[in-house]
Each structure stands twice: as structure tokens, then as C-alpha cells.
Amino acid sequence: MERCLDSLISRRRWLSGAATIGAAGVLGLPVRGTAADAPAHKFKIGSAEVVVISDGDFTLPASFVLPGRPDAEIEGVFKKAGIAPATIKAEVNVVVIKLGSETILIDTGAGPDFMPTLGRLADRLEAAGVKPEEVTKVVFTHAHADHLWGVIDPLGGGSLFEKAQHVMTAVERDYWLQADVESRVAEPFKAMAAGTHRRLKSIADRIQTAVAGTEIVPGLAYVDTAGHTPGHVSVLLKSGSEQLLIGGDALVNAAVSFAEPAWRWGSDMDPDRAIATRIRLLDRLATEKIALTGYHLPWPGVGRVERKDGAYRFVQ
């Protein structure tokens, strides 16, 4: 009976997502591509076990993510990286960290109501050996739809991770809980802002806040990477002599974010601050040789940053 119920829930999640084929209209963008069909990627950082799970993938037009940038410049950067620039593929790589007695989920994917090629996390967690009730902390980098909406149980309406402590910066939480948040974002993001407000409000009493530079649990701390959103943070894991930065959306594209970190990215809410964040973060990652997991970098999003030709490159 339990197995049948799990199967029913999985089908309902899928049908809910498939029914929202127009959900990309949340951003006013076409949907291309299908969800990545990848098994979980597991590795160690010191004594911590890191599991990367795909929530799916999606593509966006270069004209949206690189507004006003001349075509010739875009083509040059992507040609060097061996990537076609017309549409830009974004993976959604969700990280689980098993650290001591803690099972920590970093961001929660998009859920079934954002884009039909996303929302696979709930099913793939259990396939990776992680049950929602085993998650002790849900740690958010920020509250954009593809990082937050998957926290909601599509059947019950509350958090899917009912036994977990939910953590976010106060700046991020308070921004999206503003009653007039829709009026504060650009036109393509208004529907998403409304959706994020509703979902965040439904779990607001569960959220505990943490600030950059302080540990969430021993060995895991927020790092200030604001700019993409007002309270955006990355998460730094330290175990033994090893470190891993779970970067959220601080570095989102394997070509542009590294080779041209000063280029404006269309979904950054404070572009100038996001640029300063990228440049500072890239220098730190390259200098300190910290491993990186990027939420939207090529599957499984794990690699290192190296200096190259006066800028940087992402090496997997």
C-alpha cells in the first residue's frame, strides 16, 4: 500500500507539472529542452558526503540573459567554450550534504508549477537514498522560483520537509514577504515574485535566519554573495582540509560567468553588485583552490576555478 501511495504521489506531481506547460510564461519565455535524466552524483569533502541531484534543466534565450550585448561578442565567448549561444542551457543541480548527524538540503528545486522540465527533485531524492523526513535542515541561497518553490508539498501545501529547520537570510526573506513585492521587480519577474511571496508566506513561521560569516552547523556557513537577489548567499562547506562552495546563482554559466564576469546577467536584480560579487568570488575560489558546485553549471556542476587569459575558467 505504501509503495502504491508513493507511486500515486509521484504521478500527481508529474501531471501537475505537465499541466503547466505554459509555466515558463512566469518569465514570459519559451520552454525548450527536457529534464536531465541523471543519477545522483556522490563525492566526499573530508568526512562529509555530498550528493548532487538533478531537478531537471531548461534553456533561456541569450537575448534575455545577456541583454544589449552585441551578438558578435556573445558568439565569441561561447565559441571558445564550444557552446551554441542562441539558447543557453541551465541545469538545476540540487545539493544534499550529510555532515555528522545532519542531512542538509541546499535549495529545493522548482517544484511542479514553474517549468515542465523541472520539478524532479522530490522523486529523485528518494532514488538517491534521501527521504524528505530525514532532512534536518533546508538551507536556501535565495528565493527565486527554481530554488524555493520545490519546498512546498504539492498535496498538503506546507513544507515537503516537515521535520527540517528552514534557513534563509533575513534580508532575502523580508524582501520577498513584502506585500508589494510584485511592484518592485521587472516585468518578466512579476508573476514569479507573486508566486514566491505566496509560497514563502506559507512557510514563514518555519524559517530561521542566519547571516553570512556565521555557521549554520559546525563546518557549514553562509558566504555573502548578494547581487543576484538582495539577500543572496552561497554556502561554504569545510571538512578536514577540504572546502566546497555551493554557489547558488553567483556563478551561473560556464562560459560567461568565468570568462566575462563583468558582463551583466539578465536575471541579476542588482547587476553592479552581482558583478562585484562574481569578481571577488572568482578570485577567492582560484586563490584558495576551493571546489565549486554551481546550481546551473553543466551537470553535475562540480569543478574548480582557474585563472586564464586575464580572467577565469571553470574546470570539471
Percent of the chain residues topping a pLDDT of 70: 89
Are residues 20 and 13 in contact, defined by beta-carbon separation less than 8 angstroms? no
Are residues 15 and 181 in contact, defined by beta-carbon separation less than 8 angstroms? no
Q: Three cell numbers at 234?
A: 552561497
Residue 307 to residue 312: CA distance in whole angstroms: 4
Report the pLDDT value the prediction gives residue 36, as an integer from 0 to 100.
54
E strands within the chain?
A: 41-45, 48-61, 87-99, 102-106, 137-139, 165-168, 207-209, 215-217, 220-224, 233-239, 242-246, 291-293, 302-308, 311-315
Contacts of residue 250, defined as CB under 8 A and 6 or more positions apart, other chains included, come to 225, 227, 228, 232, 234, 274, 277, 278, 281
Q: Which residues pair with 290 in a beta bridge?
A: none
Q: What is the pLDDT of residues 111-148, one digit of tens each?
A: 999 999 999 999 999 999 999 999 999 999 999 999 99
Verify cis geometry, omega within 30 degrees of 0, for the bond prior to 67. Answer: no
Residue 104 to residue 88: CA distance in whole angstroms: 29
Domain ranges of the chain: 2-315
Q: What is the pLDDT of residues 249-289, one digit of tens each?
A: 999 999 999 999 999 999 999 999 999 999 999 999 999 99
CATH architecture of 2-315: 4-Layer Sandwich (3.60)
What are the b/e assignments for 35-61, b being 16+ CB within 10 Å?
bbebebbeeebeebebbbbbbbbbbbe
Of residues 53 and 23, more confidence is placed in 53
Q: Following DSSP, what letter does each residue of 46-110 receive, concatenated?
A: TTEEEEEEEEEEEEEEHHHHSTT--HHHHHHHHHHHT--SSEEEEEEEEEEEEETTEEEEE----
